[in-house]
Structure 1
Amino acid sequence: MSRICDLTGKGALVGNRVSHSNAKTKRKFYPNLQMKRFFIPEENRWITLKVSTSAIKTINKIGITEAINRFVSKGSI
């Protein structure tokens, strides 16, 4: 399974791990993803999404259907 948010499209970023001697090696910064179930009242069903915690906050604020519509119109899905 890929580590990409289903709604926002957030993925891993690449950076450097810097040691005490200032030696740099590549590493990845992964987004904080959670498997979460959401109930869609219009369709009377549950969906399971792998979403970032910032997307969960957005969903809690505006609702799942509005969040899906925003992310679809923005083109991140």
Structure 2
Amino acid sequence: MARRCELTGKGVMSGNNVSHALNRTRRKFLPNLSTVKLASETLGETYKFKVSASALRTVEHRGGLDAFLLKASDGELSDRALAVKKAVKKAQPAA
């Protein structure tokens, strides 16, 4: 699986190592990913996602996985996260 956050789409970035003599060599900036289980309150299930640390803080700040998914745009979510978002939308009562 790619080194990409499933909830925010954050991925590998590239840049330069710059020495004291200003020599530049290419390097990669890797996202701080961890595999976590997040619970959906609406569906009553847990889902395993590969998530960046900043996305995990955002999920907690927004009030859980369901609230995060409903507010997130479809373009940045992975296919698995989109499927969960669709299920959450379907399971919520129409208001």
* Alignment match, 1:10: 10
Instruction: State the structure with bigger RCO (CA 8 A, min sep 6), 1 or 2.
Output: 1
Identity %: 38
Structure 2 alignment gaps of length 5 or more: 78-95
Instruction: Measure the CA separation in 1 of the matches of 2:74 and 2:38.
Output: 21
Instruction: Measure the CA separation in 2 of the matches of 1:44 and 1:16.
Output: 45
Instruction: Measure the CA separation in 1 of the matches of 2:61 and 2:24.
Output: 40
Given the two structures, how large is their TM-score scaled by the length of structure 2?
A: 0.73
Kindly report structure 1 stretches of 4+ aligned residues shifted beyond 3 Å: none
User: Letter of the aligned partner of 1:14 in structure 2?
Assistant: S
Deviation at residue 74 of structure 1 after TM alignment: 5.4
* Alignment match, 1:55: 55
Structure having the larger proportion of residues in helix = 2
Q: CA RMSD in A?
A: 1.2
* Alignment match, 1:38: 38
How many equivalent pairs are there?
76
Given the two structures, how large is their TM-score scaled by the length of structure 1?
A: 0.88
